[in-house]
Copies of this chain bind each other. A is one copy, B any other.
Amino acid sequence: MDAEAARLLRRLLAEQPTAALATLHKGEPAVSMVPFVLPAGGAELIIHVSGLATHTRDMQDHPRVALLVTADAGGPWPPQALPRVSLTADARSLPRDSAEAEAARAAYLARFPESAQTFELGDFGLVALRPVAARLVAGFGRAYSLVGEALQAWLLDTPG
């Protein structure tokens, strides 16, 4: 993969605050918006979701999900060629008060300080999404698939 495209698309994960999260809902595809953070040096996306939300129950029933992170419209790209990343990922709830949850909470709050009050709500919890495959689209005819070590290396390559 072209190094410039790889960096542009990794930066999308660092800069875009939300993803489209596709879950399996009673056998049908569903999609909702989630703010997310990919902590520097981490290879899992962190989301903070309500146990009352449909997508949360969907992930408990069926942990395999898909995520799409897209560049904003209105930039230099035509809509058909917007840079974007699709991830296939596995969801896992982080046990409340675990060291892992504390680190995820700190990273989430650093990204979304205005969400502090949702951490005081009993029904909210942190979920880690571990990507197992990525499809990177850098424009027309510039698509790359990543799995395994190449995927890990790309996720860990924190944009400067």
Is the CB–CB distance between B66 and A30 below 8 Å?
Answer: yes
- A65: Cβ under 8 A from any B Cβ: yes
In angstroms, how far is the closest chain B Cβ from the Cβ of A152? 21
With an 8 A cutoff between CB atoms, is A17 at the interface? Answer: yes
Binds B, one of A2-10, A38-46, A79-87, A94-102: A79-87
Q: Return A138 CB to nearest CB of chain B, in Å.
A: 13
Give A59 Cβ to nearest chain B Cβ, in Å.
Answer: 10
Secondary structure class of chain A's binding surface, majority of residues: strand
Tally chain A residues at the interface, Cβ within 8 Å: 37
- Produce 1/0 per residue, A105-141, CB < 8 A to B: 0000000101100100000000000000000010000
A18 touches B65 (CB 8 A): no
Judged by a CB distance under 8 angstroms, whether A147 is at the interface is no
Q: Given A17-B79, A20-B20, A112-B80, A31–B72 Cβ distance below 8 Å? A: no
